[in-house]
Structure formats: structure tokens, C-alpha cells
Structure 1
Amino acid sequence: MILEKNRLSQSLVQPHAAEAGASRENVFFHLFKASWLLALLLLVLNLGTVAGLGNINALEKSLFMVAGLIYLANKPLNWGPTISALIILLTIFICAFFTRFFSFSWGRTASAVTALFALVPFFLARPSERERNLALKSIALAPFVLVLYGVALWMATGNPIIFRDHTGAQRLGGALHPAFLAAASYAGALSSAFLYSQHRSFRYLFFCAASIVICLLSGTRMPSVCAVASCALVIVGATRGGASRVGIIGLGLAAAVIFLMTFGDQILVRFMSGSTSGREDMWAVLNEWVVRYPLVGVGFGHHGLLIPESITKLTRTSAAHNEYLRSLVELGYLGAPVFLAGLFLLFVQSSASSFSKITFQTLALVLLVFVYASTDNVFFLSYSLLIALVISWAPPAPMPSHGQSTAKP
């Protein structure tokens, strides 16, 4: 009799517990959805430039940080990427502690760490199916929203969506710098490629191709090449059967020929110019500082202080446009390899619940991101980090039960 009562009470309690758990998950999902879309919207609007608000990068990053913390609130940590993130953080602060750079500032280091880690929470746990779909679809739409936003501003304010750069090539920019639009298009194209591979809808194949066209029209070289290679890897890898793969490759080549016959002259001007936009002078200066502070560098986030104003005026930027050189000058020969290895492992390990489930495709895609980082600012730009987020979140993986560690014993 007592056993029957216990069973009856358990049968009544379990459905209520399940309902409470589902309700809690719904609440956290809707909070995450609202915060994620708000952060992405503020990033797209680029109000610092468009509305003349100045540098509001801290506000944009903080919104992503809030969305990331909400995302983590109801999930167990994936210990592989979590340990990698801690190694990165420890390396930064150890190098900062031992640097002898005369203008070192803990405040500047903390600001750079915040910029780097704003999206890191998203890499520390595996997403649910709803979270994955929300992120991939919103990132896939971002390039088109940016172009439409640029057209609207052009019509409203006269701010041109296309301009001619120092090489003579016409470049698509709109509300963003072309390099930012290229990074957003790279992320959008890769997201669309993964959505096509999962749903087999030609709508996503069209989105992928259109995003690559936007990337090419921005006149950027390395992100365009890496975007094409990444999307080809995903789409061809997801296509079954030799005839289907030949068909996809044929369609891609035909689209490339049509594009080159229509817009190709402007793209080739940019690609064949050989111009580095004055970056060689910037790199020469930074290399001199590497020689002065070879072991632990000048401090994380401090490389902008090293670039003379004359070079900043020429290049119109104080960013290194080479993440390897930037890491070397800021963290030295001791810190930079650990920092870069930790970042690589963070991106790779976050794609799976265990190290053994990491795929060759993920490794290749992350390697392409690191190739991209050799000529552009990648690890501190939100649009570029969205590329790594797409690689991390795209592979489906079952969510572990609440409280269960994802690490293997």
C-alpha cells in the first residue's frame, strides 16, 4: 500500500517537474532571443558612425556579453573551451604583469580583454536547436539587412553606398566600412551554407551565393577568398553523389563567370593592384617594437599606442591588420603562441561536446579563419567573431541533461 502511494506521488510530481523545466527553458530562450537580436541590431545600425555618437563599441560589446551570460544561465559548461578561455585570460594577465613597457595601462588591457571576451560565453556551452536556428538565420540575413540599410541611408542622407578607393576600384560599403561588410558577408554566407546542408533548401544556397557576391563587391581580398573556400567546403561536403557534386561545382563556376563578366573589372582592379594600403609601414613599425620587448610584449591592447600619427593618417586606422603580429607585439614570443593556440582550441572545441567528436571540416574552417586573420582584424571585430560562432554552433549536437558535465572522465 505504501509503495503504491509512493509511485502515485512520483507519477504526479514528475510531469509537474518536467513542465517547470520546460517553462524555465522557454523563459531563458525568450530572454536570450530578445538580448541577441538587440545586440545584433545595434551592431548593424552602427550608430557611432551613422548618428555621430562616437565610439560606442563598449555598448555594442556589452549587449553581446549580456546575451552570452543569459545564454549560459541554464546550461552546463563544456569544459574543453572553458579551460581554453581560462588559459587565454591567464596568458594575457601574466604577460601584462611582467611587461616593462613604459606606457602600460591596466585599464587599456581590461578594455581589450572585454572586447575579446564579449562573445566568448557563446562558445562555452552547446546551443539548443532553437538557439542554433535563431543565431544561424539571423546571421545569414545580416548582409542583406546591411545593404538595404545602406541604400536607405543613401536615399535619406545622400551618403553613397559605393565609393572609389585609392586603387581606383569601386567598393560597396554602405553604412559600414567595406572590411566590416566583408566580415558580415563571410559570416552570413557560411551560415547560409550550413543551413543549406541541414535543410537542403535552395533558398539558403541562393542566400549563400548572394552573400559571397556582397563580400566580393566590398572589394576585400582575403575575406572573399576565405568565404568562398569555406562555403565550398560545407556545400560540397554536404552534397551526396558524384553527379550532384559535379552539378553544384558547375553551378558555382557558371555563377563565377557571370559575376566576372558583369562586376569583375572593378574586383580585378582591387585584387590585382598589389596595394597593402600602407600597412607595410605599420608592420615595419610594429616589428621594431617586437625587437624592443621580445619576451612578453608591451601589454595586451597596447599596440595602437605604437603607431605614429603619420601612418595612422595614411592607413586611416590604428589597427594592425595582422593578428599574428599584433599578438606578438602585445604578448611577446612567450605569450603569443599560447594565446593563439588557446584561441584556436576555443573555436574548435566549442563545436562538439567532446574532443573526439571534432570533425575535419571544423578544423579546416577554423584554419581558414586564422588565414583570414593574417591580413585583417579578426579576433576583436564582432562580425568576424560571428564567423567562428557559426562554425561552433552549426554542427548539431544533443544537449546534455541539466547538471551533467560534458567533459569526459
Structure 2
Amino acid sequence: MTFAISILVIGINLNNFGFKANPIEKAILAIACLFLLRCHPPKRSSIALFFSIMIITLLSAVMTDYVGFSWGTYASGLISLAVPMMFLMCSPPPRTKRFILQWILALPFLYLGFGVLLQLAGIREIMRADFLGVTRLSGSTQAAYLSAASAAGVLAAIVLGSKTGNLRYYLWAAICAGVCALAGGRMAFAIMLLNALPLFYFGSRGNATFKFIATYVGAFLAIVGLFFVSNTIIARFSSGSESGRDLIREFLEDIAASYSQWGVGLGHQYIIFPEDLTLKVATVAAHDEYLRFAVELGSVLSVVFFCLLALLLFIRANQSVVTNRWGYWIAGLSLFIYSMTDNAFSAAPIFFLVLVGIYGCSEPVAYAPSRRMKRGQ
């Protein structure tokens, strides 16, 4: 239930009402994670890795010489980082997993529904121009987050269709794919395709005939959809622009070089952004998690962090039954790919996109079918 409440809060987007949405969303998600971990405790090795990651952030906080360091900012950043780590530690049973995936599938529709209501109330517009001047579907949030949420919805629908045999989920997947295209998120769309293929072809319950028909129907709908997608959206997908990320990278690389040993402290990347740069790029996010953690933790500890993260994914695979190896490892790889261009850990819709693939391709040992059952023995 707490997870459902968190999805509703994310869908409303409290930024529209003058609140700082991210800390509130992460706090509710953290409570949901704690309930999940309490009911389904992870293995000791996963817990040890989790605390190892937390300890290296504390080491950076204690050792940094950044004069603007604040323990309050560090605590906020720690919660924001702990939430995705706790989700990765947990391996929920099928019923709980289905509940989580259904609410992730609902998120893009909540964004759109609340966006319509907010436009009717005169608070914001559902279609907004981005850095390139392209008008994109955004709902109640930023277009990038709607794009990631709808891409996650596609994967959640495929997994649910595969697990339940309900073909209506594939219709929801097609709708979410259209929303993702209209929202114009290039990386979200690419990650969606990268994960959807192994989830559908290697994890779907449908037979070969169903997959063959679905492939050609999907290709036909994609071609027809091109006629309904405006030229500006197509121009965005074909654009080589970095949407201001080059300006962000140049600034943060200088900061990373100045605090290369211990960084400025977890969570502090957001507060060191100069106001003139924020006005140019309309964000305070790094849009590059490798650079962000190099700034916040220092060059060495940031490498240690990503190594521990990779190890956590390997241990998770060993402690559960991976039912779709291609899908699982592509989902894990997607987290590292997405981290190159977006806020894969701090933005919940982006992390959900990766989480769906990981959850959809593995089962707890106690709930997974045995090899004999799979062979029909």
C-alpha cells in the first residue's frame, strides 16, 4: 500500500504546488522499501554490500574539504541513494512483484491524468517546450520523466502479460510506447527497446505464432504512428544536440578536478550549480551519474561505488533464480548505460525503467519453478 501511495504522490508531482517533490517522494519510497525488506529480508551478503556503499559515502562526507558541506544535504542525498539500492537488494515474491509492476504501469497514466486536471485548472500545460524548443508531451511532470515512466510501463506490461497470460497487457504496452514517443525521451526510448526485445522474445509465455503476429502488428503500428508524430518530435529523435549537457559537463568536470580526492559530499552536486547555468539549461541535475558521483564522492570512491553496484547485481542473480538471463543482464547493463546521460538513481521513473527488467527476469528461490518442473518431469 505504501508503494501505491508513493506512485500517486509521484504522479501528482508536488512541484506543481510549490513543494520540493523529490525528498517527499523518496521518503515515502524509503518507507515502502523498509516494509518490503522487513517482509522479505535479503541475504547477508546483499546487506553487507548495501552498508559498504553507505560507508563510502560517509567516508567522503567526513573527509571532504568542501566549505559548503552540510550534513542535512548529505542525509537527503543518502536517502535518495538508499532507495534504489534497497529495491535492488529485495527479491519480492510473485504476488508482491505483480503489485509493484501494476503500479509502475499506472504511473504514466497518472502523469497524463493529473496533467489534464492541472491544465484545466490553469496551473500548467500538458505540452511544453524543451531546451531545443521542441514541444513535448509532459503531463504533470517533465517530459523526460513521463518518457521514462511510459517506457517502464511498456516493460511492466510485457512482464505482466508474460506472467499472467492476459493479452490485454500488450495493448497497454503499445499505448505506453506511443506516449514515450510523444514525450520525446531519446535514451528512455532506446533503453525501452533494448529491454523489451529480450523480455518479449525470451520471457513471454506466448507461442511462436503469437510472437510472429505481434512483431508484424507492432511494426505496422509503429509505421502508422509516424504519421501522427509531429515533425518536431521526429527532429528531436534525429537531433545530435546534448540539450545543454555539454555545458553541465564542462562545469562539473572542473569541480570534480578541484575535489578529486574526497568530493564535495553526497547530495551536494545540486547545490553547487551556478544560477546562470541553471537558467541556461533549466536544471540542476548532472545528467551523468558517473560525473555526479565523481563530484560528490571523489574519483576513487566513485569507481568503488560502481564496482560495488555491479557486485550487488551479480550477488542478486546468484541468490535468486534468473528466469531470463538475457533480459536480466541487459536490464543490469541498462542501468550503467542510462547513468551516462540521465539521473538514473535520483529520478524514480528512470530507475523504475531498469528495475522492471530486473524484477521481471528473476524470482526468489522459494517461488521459482524447479528445473524438473520446467522439463515436465
Q: Same fold (TM over 0.5)?
A: yes
Matches within 5 A, 1:292-331: 292-331=258-297
Which residue of the partner structure matches residue 207 of structure 1? 172
Counterpart residue type for residue 64 of structure 1: L
Matches within 5 A, 1:234-245: 234-239=199-204, 244-245=210-211
1:154 aligned onto 2:119: yes
SS where residue 271 of structure 2 aligns? helix
Q: 2:132 aligns with which of 159, 162, 167?
A: 167
Which residue of the partner structure matches residue 76 of structure 1? 41
Check 1:394–1:242 CA distance in 2 against 1; reply closer, same or farther (3 A cut).
closer
Which residue of the partner structure matches residue 105 of structure 1? 70
Which residue of the partner structure matches residue 103 of structure 2? 138
Which residue of the partner structure matches residue 252 of structure 1? 218
Between 1:172-181 and 1:193-202, the stretch displaced more is 193-202
Which residue of the partner structure matches residue 372 of structure 2? none
Aligned mates of 1:338, 1:354 — CA distance in 2: 24
Which residue of the partner structure matches residue 46 of structure 1? 13
Q: Is the 8 A contact 1:111 1:301 kept in 2?
A: yes
Bigger radius of gyration: 1
Q: Is the 8 A contact 2:321 2:363 kept in 1?
A: no
In structure 1, the gaps of 5 or more residues are 1-33, 402-409
Q: Is the 8 A contact 1:141 1:188 kept in 2?
A: yes
Matches within 5 A, 1:370-389: 370-389=336-355
Deviations 1:273-326 (A, max 9, x none): 322222211110111122222232222212223322111111111110111111
SS where residue 68 of structure 2 aligns? coil
Q: 2:197 aligns with which of 214, 232, 239?
A: 232
1:337 aligned onto 2:337: no
SS where residue 295 of structure 1 aligns? coil
Aligned mates of 2:52, 2:45 — CA distance in 1: 11
Counterpart residue type for residue 367 of structure 1: L
SS where residue 201 of structure 1 aligns? coil
Offset, 1:328: 1.3
Offset, 1:264: 5.1
Check 1:270–1:319 CA distance in 2 against 1; reply closer, same or farther (3 A cut).
same
Q: 2:244 aligns with which of 258, 274, 278?
A: 278
Offset, 1:354: 4.3
1:125 aligned onto 2:90: yes
Which residue of the partner structure matches residue 5 of structure 1? none
SS where residue 261 of structure 2 aligns? coil
Aligned mates of 1:357, 1:345 — CA distance in 2: 19
Q: Is the 8 A contact 1:58 1:115 kept in 2?
A: yes
Which residue of the partner structure matches residue 67 of structure 1? 32
Between 1:341-350 and 1:297-306, the stretch displaced more is 341-350
Q: Is the 8 A contact 2:202 2:324 kept in 1?
A: no
Aligned mates of 1:56, 1:148 — CA distance in 2: 18
Offset, 1:110: 1.7
SS where residue 196 of structure 2 aligns? helix
Which residue of the partner structure matches residue 221 of structure 1? 186
Q: 2:359 aligns with which of 393, 397, 402?
A: 393
Which residue of the partner structure matches residue 364 of structure 1? 330
The alignment yields a C-alpha RMSD, in angstroms, of 2.4
* TM-score using structure 1 length: 0.82
Aligned mates of 2:45, 2:214 — CA distance in 1: 36
Which residue of the partner structure matches residue 89 of structure 1? 54
Aligned mates of 1:180, 1:132 — CA distance in 2: 22
Aligned mates of 1:368, 1:342 — CA distance in 2: 16
SS where residue 300 of structure 1 aligns? coil
Aligned mates of 2:130, 2:108 — CA distance in 1: 21
Counterpart residue type for residue 79 of structure 1: R
Aligned mates of 1:238, 1:400 — CA distance in 2: 20
Count of residues in correspondence between the two structures: 366
Counterpart residue type for residue 220 of structure 1: G
In structure 2, the gaps of 5 or more residues are 368-377
* TM-score using structure 2 length: 0.88
Check 1:326–1:320 CA distance in 2 against 1; reply closer, same or farther (3 A cut).
same
Offset, 1:218: 0.9
Aligned mates of 1:223, 1:185 — CA distance in 2: 9
